[in-house]
Amino acid sequence: MPEEKEPTPRQALNKDEVALELMRFIAVTTGYGKTSASAGFAGKAPKTTEEQVDALIQLYERCRAVVGK
């Protein structure tokens, strides 16, 4: 029987890394910061790349504030 290695414990994440993971989770699950593709008439023009980046940066700052508490 081969020797089983114990899983190495994951190094503790600092607050910025935790905030980044939280931001990624929120952005992926909600589609935050993405343009909305829709057929037909749309009420708003699609977001520009700069607006998408600004939205993600604001989300990251909010996540940092929450994690820092």
16 touches 61 (CB < 8 A): no
For residue range 31-59, list pLDDT tens digits in order: 876 766 556 565 666 678 898 889 999 99
Instruction: Report the distance separating Cα 24 and Cα 56, nearest Å.
Output: 9
Tokens of 15: 């607050």
Average pLDDT over residues 28-33: 83
Q: What distance in Å separates the CA atoms of residue 69 and residue 63, rounded to the nearest whole number?
A: 10
Give mean pLDDT, residues 53-66: 93
Domain ranges of the chain: 15-34+47-68
* Tokens found for residue 58: 């604001």
- The pTM (predicted TM-score) of the whole model is 0.65
